[in-house]
Amino acid sequence: MTIHDSRSTIHDLRMEHRLQKLIAAAGIASRRHAEELITSGKVSINGQIVKELGTKADPDHDHIKVNGKLINPQLKNQEKIYVLLNKPRGYLSSLSDPEGRPLVTELLPQSVGKVHPVGRLDFNTEGLLILTNDGQLTNYVTAARNRVSKVYEVKVKGVPTEVAIARLRRGVTLEDGTRTASAKIKLLHQTETNAWFEVLLHQGRNQQVRRMFDLIGHSVLKLRRVRIGSLTDESLKPGYWRFLTGAEVKRLMGGPSRKKANGGRKQD
C-alpha cells in the first residue's frame, strides 16, 4: 500500500449542519445531550438563543455558543481525512453488509480513521473511489448540480452501432422511466466480439453505465472508473490506496487551480 501525501483541511463553501450534529462533532456532548442543551436554551447562533431542534448553522460563518462558550475552534480543528482507493472487483462500497460481503473499508488500515465512500461503485466495478469523513466534500462531489464528471472505461458484449451510441450520448429513458443527461462516449477499441468505450457522466444514477448499455442490447462485461473530476491516478493499482493532497482536494471542490485551468467553469 502506498501513502503519497498527508491529510488536509478545507473550509471553502457555506455548509450548514444541524446544531445537535455540530455540538456532538465538537466533542461537547452526545447528540441526545446536545438536543437537551438546545431545547433548554443553552445554545446560541450569532448571539440569538436557539431552541428549535431542526435549526442549522455553518461553523465557517456563524458563531455557535454552548453555555456561552464558542465551539467554532473545536470544529475547525477536526482532522479531515481524504483517501483515494482503487477499488477492486468484489468489494462493496458500503460501511456494512447484512450478507457479509467484503467492504471497501476493509482495504484500509484502522489507523486511517473512520471514513465513508463518496458515492458508490457496484460490487463488480473497479476503479477510483474517494473515502472521507468530510460531508461537505461528499455532497459536493455527488451532487449532479456541481457537474463533477466521472469517467469510466467500459467493455461491452458485441459492437454497438454508431446510431445506438449516439442515442446514449443524447440521453435515454431508462427502464424505470428516468432520463439520463447527455454523456460523452468515445470508442477506444473494438474486435469482432467486443467494444471498449470511454464514458463521461455528470450524474451518478444507480448502475447508470450498465443500465445505459443494457438498453441498447450490449451488456457491460467490465467497468472501471478512471477519473473523478480532476482526480486520476494510473499508478494506483487495484486494492491500493493513498491520501489525497490538499491541492487535489481543493481542485475537486472547484478550487482556484481548477477554475484557472478551464477558464472559470466549475468542472467539465
Site residues for ligand URA per CB under 6 A: 121-122, 125, 207-210, 223
Q: What is the Cα–Cα distance from 148 to 252, expressed in whole angstroms?
A: 8
**Nearest residue (CB) to ligand URA, 20 versus 208:** 208
Residue 91 phi, psi dihedral angles, 5° rounding? -130, 145
Q: Count CB-CB contacts under 10 A for residue 232.
A: 14
Residue 60 phi, psi dihedral angles, 5° rounding? -80, -15
Q: How far is the CB of 180 from ligand URA (least distance, A)?
A: 11
Q: How far is the CB of 132 from ligand URA (least distance, A)?
A: 18
For residue 179, what is the DSSP state?
B
**Nearest residue (CB) to ligand URA, 26 versus 118:** 118
Identity (one letter) of the amino acid at 229? G
Q: How far is the CB of 120 from ligand URA (least distance, A)?
A: 7
Q: Could you give the C-alpha distances from 16 to 58, 82, 116, in angstroms and in order?
A: 4, 20, 19
Q: How far is the CB of 140 from ligand URA (least distance, A)?
A: 18
DSSP string covering 61-78: TS-EEETTEE-HHHHHTS
Distance of CA 181 to the CA centre of its chain: 19
62 in catalytic set? no
Q: How far is the CB of 125 from ligand URA (least distance, A)?
A: 3
Q: What is the Cα–Cα distance from 215 to 225, expressed in whole angstroms?
A: 20
**Nearest residue (CB) to ligand URA, 17 versus 205:** 205
Q: Which residue in 12, 58, 62, 122 is the catalytic one?
A: 122
**Nearest residue (CB) to ligand URA, 34 versus 209:** 209
C-alpha cell at 37: 442543551
Q: What is the Cα–Cα distance from 25 to 70, expressed in whole angstroms?
A: 14
CB 180 within 8 A of CB 208: yes
Distance of CA 9 to the CA centre of its chain: 16
**Nearest residue (CB) to ligand URA, 93 versus 230:** 93
Largest CA distance in the chain: 72
Which of the residues are catalytic? 122
